[in-house]
Amino acid sequence: MAKMGRRKRSRLITLGLMTSGKAPRAQVGERANTEPAVTEVSEPVVAEVGDMALAQASTPVAAAGVPDIKALAERVKARRRENGWTQADVARQGGPSAGSVSQIERCLIEAPVRDMLNKLDVGLGWPPGTAADILRGASSELVGAAL
């Protein structure tokens, strides 16, 4: 078998397809020992970004502890189609961006932030707090109907 060149070996190591055989060096801010750091988190972690707190703690949740994303997606899509709006129309009316509306409708956003839910209420013409109520599992009479 032919000997592998230095560049190719370096590329494979970088891609994670091969190891160098050396112990990994500690990077800035990491521990120097080789034991994995284990931490326990007893409360939800909240990352502060300006005025907005991004975390599961800021997201309304259903009684089972999981937001009902599917119900929100169905009601947003029903409300939008009922009025003949596109996702861009919802964004133009003060809602979240068209891309965010699309992600909500496809259940790709697992924990929408309060700011996004408030914008969704504005863009769809819902009373304040409706999107949050749907996520919690409340407001079962709201099926996208005009309020």
What residue ranges define each of the domains in the chain, with the CATH number in brackets?
61-136 (1.10.260.40)
Q: What is the rounded CA–CA span in Å between residue 35 and residue 58? A: 34
For residue 28, what pLDDT is reported?
Answer: 57
User: Could you tell me the pLDDT band of residue 38, with boundaries at 50, 70 and 90?
Assistant: very low
DSSP state of 53: E
The sign of the dihedral angle between the CA atoms of 121, 125, 128, 132 is: negative
| Mean per-residue pLDDT, 24-35 | 55
Condensed to tens digits (0 to 9), the pLDDT of residues 44-103 reads 444 444 444 443 334 444 445 678 899 999 999 999 999 999 999 999 999 999 999 999
Q: Tens of pLDDT along 107-138?
A: 998 889 999 999 999 999 999 999 999 998 87
Rounded CA-CA distance 135/73 in Å is 10
